[in-house]
Amino acid sequence: MSGSNGVHVLPDNLVYVLVPGLFSNHGPLYFVDTKKYFSRLGLSCHIARIPTETAVETNARELKVFIEELFWGTGKRVVLLGHSKGGVDSAAALSMYWPELKDKVVGLVLVQSPYGGSPVG
């Protein structure tokens, strides 16, 4: 959606969920500036508190629960913004739990997500 001055405006009738990447739990300020930026725009934004070093399947389940709680608590659909492994976790959540999430999630944005794998074993 574009505002009157040609600047793209994100809808405020959604909840934006930042899904962190691998090892982000070791950086307490990871995503904090991004969340503040969304808040300054008047948007509802949350950082998913998931154990980033665990298996994708585990995080997918955690995200499913988090999304459902946000949807039930706010009545707003969710946009997932996944960084690195957080993007893989987000896509896995939608793939594994699509029947439960299809009416609760409106979008998925991935940044630097390693879909071809990673040299880190």
Mean pLDDT by 10 residues, the chain (121 residues): 66 95 73 91 92 91 97 97 94 97 97 73 53
Predicted model pTM: 0.85
Give the model's pLDDT for residue 117: 65
pLDDT of residue 26: 63
Residue 101 confidence (pLDDT): 98
pLDDT at 82: 94
pLDDT of the residue at 75? 96
pLDDT at 52: 82
Q: Using alpha carbons, select from 41, 17, 19, 14 the residue that is nearest to residue 30.
A: 19
Instruction: Report the pLDDT value the prediction gives residue 22, as an integer from 0 to 100.
Output: 81
- Give the pLDDT confidence score for residue 5 in this predicted structure: 67
Strand 44-47 relative to strand 77-83: parallel, antiparallel, unpaired?
unpaired
Contact in structure between 38 and 16 (CB atoms under 8 Å): yes
**So what's the pLDDT on residue 17?**
97
How many angstroms separate the CA atoms of 92 and 6, rounded? 35
